[in-house]
Amino acid sequence: MTEAILNEEALELLLQKLDNFVWTDKAKEERDRLRQNFLQTYDKQRIENLTKEDYFAGLGKKQGCLAYDLEWGTSALGSIKGGSKYKYGYEADFPKIKQLLKKVISIDTSVFANTNGSLPAPLLDICKLSKDINGFKTGRTVIPKLLSIYYPDTFLPIFNDQDHFLSKLLTSGTETESTGLELYFEYNFKLLKVKKRLEEISGKPFDNFGFARLLYAAFPKGEDAPTSDQPANPDILQDDEKFEALEVQHYQTLLHRNLPRLFPMLKYFDEEEQIKKNGQYDTQAVGIMDMLCVDENGDFVIIEIKRQATDKTIGQILRYMGWTREELCKDGQKVRGIIVAERKDIHLEFALKVIPNVKFLKLGLKITVEEQ
């Protein structure tokens, strides 16, 4: 684990926020009630006897299953909303999921982390189990949310936003090769080190939920500029960028509405969710895919839509393809990519020559007028 160096300007901002931060938490009583209800509902005996219907949403019941209660019933304890239902895994993997859940709720609370931040054997065991379950291999939502409920004094209710806060709080020390749960544990340890330092300087101890509230107040996500694979907000872009963002959104809608005609052999991987979102699929880990489909053979096809495609587009679609192969592929499924754009530059032309499982399709729009 690389040494973390605290950003002094960020620390100063947190100290300023502390002076004016409203610590009165009117919702604390309700959160405590939600947490106790969840712990009573999903105690060791319930997890031991858990069935697929008790775990997955939609198998006979929607509410009253762990997936629903974790995502919606306890959203006040930390949000993991969004993404796909497959972040909870596949039905075929339920025995492995159940084994993982039993491990999670039976951790010895004295061995959460070594003094240097390295993981003790029980947590390494959980990481190893998670990497053998599709949907859990790179995810930082379902298991981390459970950990933050069962062990709120050790695990922060911050999940996919860990990267955002550490990029603000540290000048170095975020470099890592960890993924999935290992990454969550590593980043949780570093955030807790920041919390401890802040408490030492300010003389104000606060719980993990209070620290999370402070971070979201000091470094709101909305202030970040959108990355190349996130939907851009046209209201905050320059005129030329605004035009391109609106065009891409328009192309997305057109391709979504005409998917059966343009790609008759494809269908959305998660139709229920993707139809609501113009075909987009949120990985909650490596960005939002424009379209995630499966073909007539059951293989995955990722479609990336651009106005002008460059060699940067290759890096983006390969990232999605790698994530899909790691998280979603099973039983020999393959992954290929399609870039759809008005035009491509020469750099992309050369890159495509050595990547046979990614192809480029030129987007053409034909508009006609007829006298009646």
| pLDDT above 60 for 316 | yes
Q: Which fold has domain 234-362?
A: Trna Endonuclease; Chain: A, domain 1 (3.40.1350)
Tokens of 46: 């319930």
As a whole number of angstroms, the distance between CA 233 and CA 227 comes to 11
Per residue in 175-201, pLDDT (tens digit) is: 888 888 999 999 999 999 999 999 999
The predicted model gives 114-135 an average pLDDT of 86
Q: What is this structure's pTM?
A: 0.76
- Please say whether the beta carbons of 156 and 188 come within 8 A: yes
Whether residue 240 has pLDDT greater than 50: no
Q: Which residues contact 224 (CB under 8 A, 6 or more apart)?
A: 164
Measured CA distances, 36 to 39, 50, 74, 151, 172 (Å)? 5, 19, 11, 12, 38
Least confident of 48-62, 70-84, 103-117: 103-117
Beta-strand runs (E) in 158-228 = 170-172
> How many CA atoms within 13 Å lie on the side-chain side of 156?
28
pLDDT tier, 246 (very low <50, low <70, confident <90, very high otherwise) = low
Mean pLDDT of 7-30: 82
Residue 202 has pLDDT above 50, yes or no: yes
Mean pLDDT of 281-301: 94
For the chain, which residues make up each domain, given as ranges?
5-223, 234-362
What residue type is assigned to position 229 of the chain? D
Burial 34-54 (b: 16+ CB within 10 A, else e): bbeebeeebeeeebeebeeeb
Residue 362 has pLDDT above 80, yes or no: yes
Alpha helices by DSSP H, listed for the chain, are 8-20, 28-41, 44-48, 52-55, 66-68, 94-104, 121-130, 142-150, 162-169, 180-202, 208-218, 239-257, 259-262, 271-274, 311-327, 346-352
3-class SS of residue 225: coil
Average pLDDT score over residue span 240-269: 79
Please give the pLDDT value at position 208: 93
Kindly indicate the confidence band of residue 43, based on its pLDDT and cuts at 50, 70 and 90: very high
* Nearest residue to 294 via CA among 283, 278, 281: 281
Phi, psi of 293 (to 5 degrees): -125, 170
Q: Poorest-confidence range of 54-63, 110-119, 295-304?
A: 110-119
pLDDT score for 23:
64
CA distance 355 to 350: 9
* Backbone torsions φ then ψ of 57, nearest 5 degrees: -80, 135
- Among the ranges given (204-208, 222-226, 265-269), the one the predictor scored with the smallest mean pLDDT: 222-226
Q: pLDDT above 90 covers what percent of the chain?
A: 60
Q: Is the pLDDT of residue 249 over 90?
A: no
Q: Say whether pLDDT at 232 is over 50.
A: no
Distance (Å, whole) CA 279 – CA 269: 9
Residue 291 has pLDDT above 60, yes or no: yes
> What span, in angstroms and rounded, lies between the C-alpha atoms of 146 and 347?
45
Return d(Cα 306, Cα 360) in angstroms, integer: 11
Rg for the chain, CA atoms, rounded: 23
Q: Worst-scoring range by mean pLDDT, 111-115, 174-178, 216-220, 237-241?
A: 237-241
pLDDT at 284: 86
Distance in angstroms (rounded) separating the CA atoms of residues 86 and 220: 28
Q: How confident is the model at residue 230 (pLDDT cuts 50, 70, 90)?
A: very low
- Residue 118 pLDDT grade (very low, low, confident, very high; cuts 50, 70, 90): confident
pLDDT value at 69 more than 50: yes
- Summary mean pLDDT of the chain: 86
Q: Please state the rounded mean pLDDT for residues 270-274.
A: 91
